[in-house]
């Protein structure tokens, strides 16, 4: 795994691409930014910020930033992402455990939002401060009155106030921030298309910095992700015609930032199938992540080339686990 000389330029290029979506957060609390191809967007900060009427993101590449590209499987397809990681000793945010007023948001992406008041939700997270930004002074006063208590504490009205007011959500990490302007959906409601957040207490209780399906190298913590255009589905998961260019572009990122053993395994499988080798020629690895690599590779070959006899034989041997949940824990984001 190695980084390119100019990470900032790579991130700026991804931000300029409407097919790439982004997230800042942790396992169970995440803010996502995405935009439509023809949506009005304002860029800034040397190409490292983008804001629409629905939300925004600003990146701040810092010393120690490491990119890590990986793939995982869903029930019938695969996912892909690049994690924006920092060493464990460099990623920590404030870890507040109670609702806390932080004052005016001087670092807001849009100047017009700088006077609104930030409140840290106090979720006690490692690599992100999950906040809301409130412009309504009446709501500010109400939240001030309940500061100093956990938002999910029994009898605490804070979360009800937040849901009713639907303020901006602001997720802040050491590598940047994401802001969501769209309304919070009602309980049991569907998240809106475009920028949105998830705060899921059930998952937060696991105290994980990332999903178990993501093979982040030891010692690193993902503070955010970007998700380049997928070859066979859009950012909402809707299937579309296979796009070889999107596949090739992500495989280039895998070669730059992925696990070298996974890259080598993918190539071995492709070569073996092209040569018509028997699936028994490959001893199935015991590693969970290696098995995922095999399945993702087979599905990618199927999407690109169709069901050849050799590929079908390999799928019968190594891709038998379609019982995987499409709602796997890493699917919080994509």
pLDDT in tens, 277-311: 999 988 777 788 999 999 999 999 999 999 999 99
Euclidean distance between the first and final Cα of the chain, in Å?
Answer: 23
* pLDDT score recorded for residue 191: 81
Residue 4 pLDDT greater than 70, yes or no: no
What pTM was estimated for this model as a whole? 0.92
Q: Which alpha helices (DSSP H) does the chain contain, by range?
A: 7-15, 137-144, 158-165, 201-204, 244-257, 260-274, 288-305, 309-318
Q: Which residues are within 8 A (CB) of 246 and not within 5 positions of it... i.e. 6 or more apart?
A: 19, 228, 229, 230, 231
Cα–Cα dist 196/127, whole Å: 19
Cα–Cα dist 175/67, whole Å: 12
Cα–Cα dist 291/237, whole Å: 23
Q: What is the pLDDT of residues 64-102, one digit of tens each?
A: 999 999 999 999 999 999 999 999 999 999 999 999 999
Rounded to 5°, the CA angle 91-101-98 comes to: 65
**308: which 2 tokens?**
């050849």
Q: Say if CB 79 and CB 325 are below 8 A apart.
A: no
Region of 314 please: left (phi>0), alpha (psi -120 to 50) or beta: alpha
**If you average pLDDT over residues 193-222, what whole number do you get?**
95
* pLDDT score recorded for residue 332: 43
**If you average pLDDT over residues 184-191, what whole number do you get?**
81
**If you average pLDDT over residues 191-211, what whole number do you get?**
94
Q: What is the pLDDT of residues 162-176, one digit of tens each?
A: 999 999 999 999 999
Phi, psi of 241 (to 5 degrees): -60, 140
255, 252, 260, 259: which is closest to 217 by C-alpha?
259
* pLDDT score recorded for residue 329: 41
Output the furthest CA–CA distance in the chain (Å, rounded).
70
């Amino acid at each position: 795994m190695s980084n390119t000389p100019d990470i900032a330029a790579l991130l700026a290029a991804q931000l300029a691409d409407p097919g790439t979506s982004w997230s800042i957060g942790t396992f169970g609390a995440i803010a996502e930014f995405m935009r439509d191809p023809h949506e009005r967007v304002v860029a800034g900060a040397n190409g490292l910020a983008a804001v629409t009427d629905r939300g925004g993101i600003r990146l701040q590449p810092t010393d120690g930033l490491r990119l890590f590209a990986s793939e995982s499987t869903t029930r019938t397809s695969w996912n892909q992402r690049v994690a924006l990681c920092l060493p464990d000793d460099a990623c920590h945010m404030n870890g507040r455990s109670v609702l806390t007023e932080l004052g005016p948001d001087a670092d807001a992406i849009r100047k017009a939002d700088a006077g609104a008041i930030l409140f840290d939700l106090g979720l006690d997270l490692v690599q992100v401060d999950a906040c809301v930004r409130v412009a309504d002074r009446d709501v500010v006063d109400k939240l001030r009155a309940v500061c100093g208590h956990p938002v999910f504490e029994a009898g605490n009205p804070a979360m009800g106030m937040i849901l009713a007011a639907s303020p901006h959500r602001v997720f802040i990490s050491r590598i940047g921030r994401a802001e969501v302007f769209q309304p919070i959906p009602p309980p049991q409601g569907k998240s809106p298309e475009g920028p949105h957040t998830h705060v899921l207490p059930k998952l937060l209780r696991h105290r994980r910095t990332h999903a178990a399906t993501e093979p982040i190298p030891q010692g690193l913590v993902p503070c955010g992700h970007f998700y380049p255009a997928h070859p066979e589905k859009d950012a909402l998961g809707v299937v579309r015609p296979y796009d070889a260019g999107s596949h090739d572009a992500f495989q280039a990122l895998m070669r730059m930032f992925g696990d070298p053993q996974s890259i080598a395994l993918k190539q071995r499988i492709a070569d073996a199938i092209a040569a018509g080798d028997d699936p028994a020629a490959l001893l199935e690895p015991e590693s969970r992540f290696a098995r995922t690599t095999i399945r993702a590779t087979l599905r990618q070959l199927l999407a690109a080339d169709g069901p050849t006899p050799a590929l079908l034989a390999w799928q019968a041997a190594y891709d038998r686990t379609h019982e995987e949940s499409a709602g796997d824990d890493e699917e919080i984001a994509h």
